[in-house]
Amino acid sequence: MSDFLVFENITKRFGMLTAVDSVALSIQKGEFFSLLGPSGCGKTTLLRMLGGFETPDSGRIYLDGRDITDLPPNLRRVHTIFQNYALFPNMTVWDNIAFSLRVAHHPRTEIRNSVEGMLELIKMTDHAYKYPAQISGGQKQRVAIARALVDRPQVLLLDEPLAALDLKLRQHMLLELDIIHDQVGITFVYVTHDQGEAMSLSDRIAVMNLGHIEQLDPPAKIYEAPRSGFVAAFIGDTNFLGGMVTEIEGDYCKLAVDGFADILCFNDKNISAGSQIHLSIRPEKIRVTPAPPPPEKGSRINVFKCKVTDIVYQGTYTKYWVLAGSHRIAAIKPHSRFLLDQAPITWGDEVYCWWHPDDGYMLEQFTAADADLVQMPPVGYSVPKPVATPTA
């Protein structure tokens, strides 16, 4: 595969702030590519430079081998779907979709065929003569997509397109976007701060933070093998345990973490003894049980006795925060048979937390700010007195 869209050491400053800091990346033709990061990470600036609304201070942008860095927006075959859709209020749905073709002076019959084709694709043929104020949020979204795709651009840019929709509609549009991408085969560059959207749609994700790319990988690799503490904490939920590697045992190593007995970890990065590292363990990989794990699970499991401090019921699962030594750890327990399988775990209970050594992931890149990204219930008023439950 050839590099279709290339960012070459792009830097953009706004006054004192460096919004994008020498970013280099290349996107393949037909790819669904996501830029994911918290607000202010530079993802929208990167997108606006691609659309032609900002000019980089240094670096070049190439599209299909052509340098487009200094081209004005109207001369790029790159269209944007704006967060607020930016549909023209004085034009009907039909005229909105036809806009780019009319501006380019396409023949009338061709315009009619293309617009009607797009209306069919977005299933809006019946609403063609309505104005934007008369259609719903989801319909506006679809019109914006049709308007941007009608003259078959080389790249479609999507700037948080689902942010204004409610949850159900968002889930629906997510599937629809995926289908449209498969049908038109155009390169999509998708900007979002919602990891769920990025994970479910993208071929590859670039996770951005403070103007640079932290990691660029397919979704599963980003989730399972985060390169830094930031990626681990921003994508999904996790627990961090900082400590020192004490002993190497074949493919595994032992980790000394303050307050725990030795933690066994899979050492895929060949980290040597004596290194300071952080261990990231996803809450869904930690089991919480009132009794220790059954012996048939083997002896190499990491088991810790802890005390439940917080419980959040989430429907499909319950999230527990437990206190192990001075560490607060989050764990998730899915409900198979709701509360019937065993006596429910409640506040203040002594429980066992255990996970397989393969399920922890060791991080060498870690900053204190990454730990702050992990969501925790506030300390202090969150530990109610245990409720006396009448048990037989």
Partner 1 sequence: MSAPSMVWLTVFFVIPTLLVIAISFHAASPDGGIGTEWTFDTWRHISNPNYPAIIWRTLWISAATTAGCVVLALPCAFAIARMQKKWRAVMAGVIMLPFWTSFVVRVFAWRLLLHPEGFLKHLLFALGVVEPNTQLLYNSGAILLVSIYSFLPFAIMPIYAAAEKFDFSLLEAARDLGARSFLAFRKIFIPGIRRGVISATLMVFIPSVGSYVIPDLVGGKNSELVGNKIYQRTFPDRNLPHASALSALMAIGVLVPLGLVALLLKRQDSKEALRLAESNVSKQRGGAV
Give the separation between CA 277 and CA 329, rounded to whole angstroms.
18
Applying CB under 8 A, which part among 37-45, 144-152, 249-257, 298-306 lies near partner 1?
144-152
Q: Which is nearer to partner 1, 86 or 271 (CB)?
A: 86
With contact defined as beta carbons under 8 Å apart, do 279 and 263 qualify?
yes
Q: Shortest approach of partner 1 to residue 11 CB, angstroms? A: 23
Residues 83-112 close enough to bind partner 1 by CB under 8 A:
84, 86-90, 99-100, 103-104
Q: How far is CA 3 from the centre of its chain?
A: 23
74 belongs to the binding site for partner 1 (CB under 8 A)? yes
Q: Among candidates 309, 304, 301, 319, which has minimal Cα distance to 353?
A: 304
Among 3, 73, 249, 276, binds partner 1 (CB under 8 A): 73
Q: Which is nearer to partner 1, 133 or 387 (CB)?
A: 133
Among 24, 53, 249, 276, binds partner 1 (CB under 8 A): 53
Strands 155-159 and 187-192: parallel
151 belongs to the binding site for partner 1 (CB under 8 A)? yes
Give the separation between CA 287 and CA 209, rounded to whole angstroms.
31
Give the separation between CA 10 and CA 22, rounded to whole angstroms.
5
In the chain, DSSP finds a helix count (H) and a strand count (E) of: 9, 20
Helix, strand, coil tally for the chain in percent (to 5): 25, 35, 40
Applying CB under 8 A, which part among 46-54, 184-192, 241-249, 256-264 lies near partner 1?
46-54
Q: Shortest approach of partner 1 to residue 90 CB, angstroms? A: 4
What angle, rounded to 10 degrees, do the helices at 137-149 and 93-103 form? 20
Q: Tell the residue number behind the tokens 């078959």, with chain if given.
A: 152
Applying CB under 8 A, which part among 146-154, 252-260, 274-282, 368-376 lies near partner 1?
146-154
With contact defined as beta carbons under 8 Å apart, do 223 and 235 qualify?
yes
Q: Which is nearer to partner 1, 102 or 305 (CB)?
A: 102
| Total residues at interface with partner 1 (CB under 8 A) | 33
79 belongs to the binding site for partner 1 (CB under 8 A)? yes
138 belongs to the binding site for partner 1 (CB under 8 A)? yes
139 belongs to the binding site for partner 1 (CB under 8 A)? yes
Among 39, 126, 381, 389, binds partner 1 (CB under 8 A): 126
Residue 117 has, within 13 A of its CA and on its CB side, a CA count of 13
Q: Which is nearer to partner 1, 104 or 339 (CB)?
A: 104
With contact defined as beta carbons under 8 Å apart, do 173 and 192 qualify?
no
228 belongs to the binding site for partner 1 (CB under 8 A)? no
Q: Which is nearer to partner 1, 139 or 238 (CB)?
A: 139
Applying CB under 8 A, which part among 109-117, 129-137, 258-266, 276-284 lies near partner 1?
129-137
Backbone angles phi, psi at 52, to 5 degrees: 100, 10
160 belongs to the binding site for partner 1 (CB under 8 A)? no
131 belongs to the binding site for partner 1 (CB under 8 A)? yes
Residue 66 has, within 13 A of its CA and on its CB side, a CA count of 11
Q: Which is nearer to partner 1, 72 or 295 (CB)?
A: 72
Give the separation between CA 309 and CA 323, rounded to whole angstroms.
7
With contact defined as beta carbons under 8 Å apart, do 264 and 357 qualify?
yes
- Give me the residues that bind partner 1 (CB under 8 A), please: 51-53, 72-74, 78-80, 82, 84, 86-90, 99-100, 103-104, 126-127, 130-131, 133-136, 138-139, 147-148, 151
